[in-house]
Chain A
Amino acid sequence: MSYITFKDVGYHVQGKYLFQNVNLSLGRNSFKTLVGANGAGKTTFSKMMIGMIKPSEGVILLDQKDVNEYKMYEIGNQVGYLFQNPNVQIFAPTVRGELGFALKYKGVDQAVINAKSEIMIDRFSLRHTLDTPAYHLSQGEKQRLALATILMNDPKYLILDEPTTGLDQKRRQMLAEVLLQIHAEGIGILLISHDHDFIRKMPTEVFTIRSGRIANETGI
């Protein structure tokens, strides 16, 4: 069953279409990847899925309801979004503070936050960063911290915008394993990436944005 549905979606800037007539269904347990040249509209496409950008035409349904009818926090309770630049999503000065940031405000018990944080610290190899201010972490560490923080929220679907940026070979391999685990846990994933080597390792259906159209190109 479709979790995120694009119905005749089009988006144009000053009369020029970035894409149009997009009809796409993303299942709750699906793993899809979106590729395309710089400026093709990949990030715009993904931001439309969280209601950050409104489509010029058509409608995007999230769990059968127009995504623009949700409040942003309601979308956040269902969908996790990893921005291309992890700096925009780090709000606390410490790694532990960042991991527990949202849950603390939601009134979750500190013991539960600590337990979940420990799992994420190990899962994303963040233990060596615990004494480092969050803003002094490397790009790759920030990226992992941002992803770990998103997963603390137990999302049903993940949108990852260029998650391999700044990751070395070992960390990319680690990220690949984590994504496979997450997917096995029943969380849907939309990966936006240029990293074809990384994509090839994933059991994912590949779509390309080209000349305003989205085509299935699994097996690139």
Chain B
Amino acid sequence: MKQEFDPRVKLLAATAISTVGVLSASPVLSLVNFLVGLVMCSIFKVNLLKIIRKMKRFLGVCLALIVIQSLFDRSGSAILLIGKITILTDVGMYRGINYLFRVLIILISGMIISTSSMKATIQGFVQLGLPYEFGFMVGLGIRFLPLLTEEIRNTYVSMALRGIDVNRLPIAKRLAMIGSLFIPIVYATLLRGKALAESAQSRGFVIGGKRSTFEKLKFGKHDYIGAATITLVFAMLLVSERLVF
């Protein structure tokens, strides 16, 4: 029977791939980091099919990001021109791809952490010496992510159902309309945060209060091996970032 990894190993993995993701300026290194992240997903039993489905949804956004990077980044040679307007440059494309991998790495990191229960994750943070509130916040964030995603989706569909063909709108109107999407999303997030804070306070939750727990996490042999492997792989990636890419 395969053993469950300690949440601290998962936190280490998520921190490692996120760090390389942020530091990497090379799309090749970002790709390698992403592939390493995928391997970790299979080790930590993340539902990879779910990631692929999410990635499919992101595809349009990612392509748009690559084009936007090119539009605002004038460096590099033009790959695609419409008249005199540069639509795509090689540097813009590299940066866009890099950005895409960063987004995917964040997604993967979240999914790796979410394979442990919220309670175990918070305990992991506490035993790592971080404040309880920090772990609690991360745990809540992960737990509420699906709800927030659903709300964003409802908001988007609700706007689409107003019957406006966005593709026919001039660019200024299109941007104004997209801007309007943020109003309900930000408002819903604030409302949820307020309700959550009230609920936590009504149960006597206070910042800085001492907490005790019966359950303590213990590192097993596989956890030590996992943590050592992750540290080694990411040390190699960080060194290669300096030497190769």
Asked if A45 CB lies within 8 Å of chain B CBs, one says no
Cα A80 to Cα B184 in complex, Å, equals 19
Give the Cβ gap from A141 to chain B, nearest Cβ, in Å: 15
Residue contact B155 to A76, C-beta cutoff 8 Å: no
Q: Mark A46-75, 1 if CB is under 8 A from B, else 0.
A: 000010100000000000000000011111
- For A, the interface residue count at a CB cutoff of 8 angstroms equals 27
> Are A77 and B184 within 8 A (Cβ)?
no
A79 touches B161 (CB 8 A): yes
The interface residues of chain A, by DSSP majority, are classed as mixed
Contact with A along B157-190 (1 / 0, CB 8 A): 1111111111001000100010011011001100
Are B177 and A87 in contact (CB-based, < 8 A)?
A: no
Interface check B127, CB cutoff 8 A: no
Beyond A73-B166, A85-B154, whether A90 also contacts B184 by CB under 8 A is: yes
A52, A87, A153: the one contacting B162 at CB < 8 Å is A153
Q: Which residues of A contact B197 (CB under 8 A)?
A: none
Q: Are A72 and B161 in contact (CB under 8 A)?
A: yes
A3 on the interface (CB 8 Å rule)? no
User: A: which residues have CB within 8 A of B?
Assistant: 50, 52, 71-77, 79-81, 83, 85, 87-93, 101-102, 105-106, 135, 153
- Can you spell out 27 A-B residue pairs with CB atoms less than 8 angstroms apart? A52-B153, A52-B157, A73-B163, A73-B164, A76-B160, A76-B161, A76-B162, A76-B164, A80-B161, A81-B157, A81-B161, A85-B151, A88-B151, A88-B184, A88-B188, A89-B158, A89-B159, A90-B184, A91-B159, A91-B180, A91-B184, A93-B183, A102-B163, A105-B169, A105-B173, A106-B163, A106-B164
Chain B positions within 8 Å of A, measured between CB atoms, are 151, 153-155, 157-166, 169, 173, 177, 180-181, 183-184, 187-188, 191
